[in-house]
Amino acid sequence: MRILVAGGGISGLATAVALGRRGHEVLVLEQRPLFAASGTGISLAPHAFQLLDRLGVGDAVRERSLTIDAFHVRDGSTGELVSSVALPACRRGACPTHATAHRLDVHEPLLDACWELDSVHLHADSRVVDYTEHPGSVTVGLADGRTLTGDALVLADGSHSLAHHRPEWAAGAPEGHLAVYRTVIPMELVADRWQDRATTCWVGRQWHISHHPLPDDAYLSVSATRHHHTGGGLFGDRVDLEQVLAAFPEIGYEARNLLTTGRHWRAWTAPRRRTPLGWARGRVALVGDSAHPARLLAASGIHDVLEDAVELGASWDTAEGGVADRLADYAAQREEQVRHGHAEFAAGRGRPQGGADRPHAHPVRPAGTAATAACGPVTSSSAARC
Ligand SMILES: Cc1cc2nc3c(=O)[nH]c(=O)nc-3n(C[C@H](O)[C@H](O)[C@H](O)COP(=O)(O)OP(=O)(O)OC[C@H]3O[C@@H](n4cnc5c(N)ncnc54)[C@H](O)[C@@H]3O)c2cc1C
């Protein structure tokens, strides 16, 4: 089987590993001149490590990551501590439980795994601009005029996917956009009280800010999300501090103080959709941000991405029939899992993760206040998401 993957981000590489390990020939087509991860830090829940283990890179990511001990929610305007969760330490040799990493710390082990697989071929400078399905194959057109044909196409091309412009996916216009402003701050510039091994989420009415230390405790990763963005699209553009502060006019003194420590800011916008586009049609599958709507807690994407890749690989093992049947199985599985996961999340139970890693929550103020409602119920799962 020959599978074309458009996009060499975390979802494209994870898909290539999942399918390449099963002996399929995989061509990963990345528009950029290099396979590299952009962005700053990510939070990893135990579930992410289980998925990375299934892709064979769990230990490599563990070695690079930093264990997190606690998750705090604060009111973004008053600074009041709303809720605090002590995250469980390593259990039964499974370490770390909750962690943070640079995005590169996930991307690079996946890239290494791709290099080690003879069946996976990585092509940089290969922007996919179009695709056509035929009865027994699918052809992609690249920006430089080349065409490539495979048995299936996986669109791992992020939140501005080609699929969003194709009538068959019926994406329609998004409800709006969110904007995320991100930076890393050298730890020596950060006030002592924000240097602990915790993820802290400051919640406002239409915004939230989260921060956590990165491996080696050398930097604090900060991500500030405006839930409704008006204005032009941002694609990792550099923005100055004044622009960041202007996006959060209601922010309280303490959270503002933290933002002012950041020097080098970049910003992204992502379309907001109520529901996923779906995961497969015919010989074309979506993985990662191309399939999932940007959630308000945009930092949750990594778990969805890894689940997509692992499940796509699993469908190739378990489903019977041709390519379209296997992809239809993948789509059905993911639809069910995402529906289940969202229901669990909404009910405050988080994603099912076995019993060992349940955190101990210490609500400082009754649940259901504006801040907890905006950030979601505090569970091990939401701790990793914020
Ligand atoms: C603004 C924002 C901030 C986020 N912050 C966090 C965070 O802090 N922590 C966290 O865990 N998650 C975060 N997420 C979510 C997480 O980054 C994503 O869910 C995850 O990285 C998506 O991976 P992906 O591979 O699907 O997409 P991407 O990472 O976007 O990768 C897509 C890749 O495809 C390539 N590509 C695009 N179009 C084409 C094309 N036509 N042809 C060829 N290649 C193409 C791109 O160059 C890119 O390499 C954030 C998401 C957004 C939108």
| Domain containing residue 253: CATH number | 3.30.9.60
- Structural domains counted in the chain: 2
pLDDT of residue 300: 57
54: left (phi over 0), alpha (psi -120 to 50) or beta: alpha
Question: The domain containing residue 259 runs over which residues?
Answer: 67-99+174-273+356-385
Within this chain, do residues 292 and 168 fall inside the same structural domain, yes or no? yes
Residue 327 forms part of a structural domain: yes
Q: What angle do CA 260, 262, 265 make, to 5 degrees?
A: 115
Cα 145 to the center of its chain, rounded Å: 31
Within this chain, do residues 265 and 313 fall inside the same structural domain, yes or no? no
| Cα–ligand 1 centroid distance for 353 (angstroms) | 25
Within this chain, do residues 88 and 116 fall inside the same structural domain, yes or no? no
Q: What angle do CA 311, 314, 319 make, to 5 degrees?
A: 115
Residue 90 forms part of a structural domain: yes
| Cα–ligand 1 centroid distance for 225 (angstroms) | 16
Residue 315 forms part of a structural domain: yes
Nearest residue by C-alpha to atom 15 in ligand 1: 301
Within this chain, do residues 84 and 108 fall inside the same structural domain, yes or no? no
Residue type, 138: V
Within this chain, do residues 182 and 327 fall inside the same structural domain, yes or no? no
pLDDT of residue 236: 87
Within this chain, do residues 135 and 261 fall inside the same structural domain, yes or no? no
Within this chain, do residues 26 and 116 fall inside the same structural domain, yes or no? yes
Within this chain, do residues 194 and 208 fall inside the same structural domain, yes or no? yes
| Cα–ligand 1 centroid distance for 322 (angstroms) | 29
Residues contacting residue 231 through CB under 8 Å, at least 6 positions apart: none
Q: What is the pLDDT along the chain (386 residues), one digit of tens a residue?
A: 999 999 999 999 999 999 999 999 999 999 999 998 876 789 898 889 999 999 999 999 999 999 999 999 999 999 999 999 998 776 666 665 789 999 999 999 999 999 999 999 999 999 999 999 999 999 999 999 999 999 999 999 998 899 988 988 876 677 888 899 999 999 999 999 999 999 999 999 989 999 999 998 999 999 999 988 888 888 889 999 999 999 999 999 999 999 999 989 999 988 887 777 889 999 999 999 898 876 655 455 788 899 999 999 999 888 788 999 999 999 999 999 888 775 554 454 443 333 333 344 444 443 333 444 344 434 444 443 34
Residue 351 forms part of a structural domain: no
Within this chain, do residues 178 and 165 fall inside the same structural domain, yes or no? no
Pocket lining: 32 vs ligand 1, CB cutoff 6 Å: yes
- For a mutational test of ligand 1's pocket, the pick from 157, 164, 338, i.e. the residue with the most ligand atoms closer than 8 A to its C-beta, is 157
Measured CA to CA, the distance from residue 96 to residue 67 in angstroms comes to 6
Residue 368 forms part of a structural domain: yes
